[in-house]
Copies of this chain bind each other. A is one copy, B any other.
Amino acid sequence: MADVKHFDPDAALDAAMRLFWQRGTASTGVQDVVDATGLNRSSLYATFGSKQELYRATLERYVRSRSRLLLGPLEEDGGGLPAVREFFDRLIETRCTGEFARWGCMVSNAHAGGENGDPEVGAVLDRQHRQLCAALRTALGSAQRQGQLAAGTDPESAADVLALLAHGVNIRSRAGADARQLRATVTAAIGAVAPGA
């Protein structure tokens, strides 16, 4: 009865995501998206509605794919302190090397870029930050139950501190901060807020 899409919307969304991630909303023109995705303006608007809706879609794709990739292991049962250390190792690795080096985190970038002027975007940012805190809390809680933490350590406030620290890593990585330096700092931080037993 009808025609079907001649392109892969998921691939297009991914290409657009990378654009917004790297350069932000304001610095990315619709023409840039057209060029990067290869599809036409009409198809783009027919599929995603508007630039703002497209941005929201890419942001949600980011938190569901890229963020999940990092947070997933953290939320698994019984990860404990090693899971926390591995989370930051992988975070710094991702932020400083490979194809995403110097791109930072799309969520942190959205924070600073003021994209939260859009209430829907703001809600995503808050939710994502709470999820990061919760994931760290889960891992630190399991660390405590496994007796990995020194007595008197509070997993909740430690998780909040490390979550803020993660934002700091994301920000500094955009300026090309040295991975070794970041790793050393983060290691010191973990050792201080979540000291081993």
Contacts and interface: CB of A to CB of B under 8 A. Distances in A.
Contact of A174 (B23, B111, B160, B184): B111
The count of identical subunits is 2
A111 B112 contact: yes
Contact of A189 (B161, B170, B174): B161
A51 interface: no
A126 interface: yes
Interface of A, secondary structure class, is helix
Contacts of A23: 114
A122 interface: yes
A169 interface: yes
Given A24-B114, A112-B112, 12 more contacts: A24-B113, A104-B111, A109-B114, A111-B174, A160-B188, A161-B189, A165-B168, A166-B168, A167-B167, A170-B171, A171-B171, A193-B193
